[in-house]
Amino acid sequence: MTDILKLIRERHSSREKFDPDRQVPKEEVKMILEAARWAPTAHNMQNFEIIVIDDKKIIETLGKIESIVSEEFIRENFEQLSLSEEE
């Protein structure tokens, strides 16, 4: 239990722009996938799929997809969506 509390206390969120040129080491991808595999889900349904994309052209294509964000969503989540002045 002490280890979990330590992890919770030391965690932090880092917000930065997506860098399509940043490479993530394969070992880190494996660790992220393992963590996702063990993450709890509602009613233990595990109703999700994880797709890893490492093809730069596909990532760029996905990055160009536009979606409409409702005003209601922005109002409800404004503080979480707010970035720094320069962003």
Across the range 8-20, mean pLDDT stands at 82
Give the pLDDT band of residue 17 (cuts 50, 70, 90). Answer: confident
Q: Give pLDDT, residue 31.
A: 96
DSSP secondary structure letters along 17-79: ---TT----HHHHHHHHHHHHHS--GGG-----------HHHHHHHHT------HHHHHHHHH
How confident is the model at residue 61, as a pLDDT? 93
Tell me, what's the pLDDT at 83?
Answer: 67
Question: Which pTM was predicted?
Answer: 0.54
* Mean pLDDT score, 37-63: 88
Residue ranges per domain, the chain? 18-78
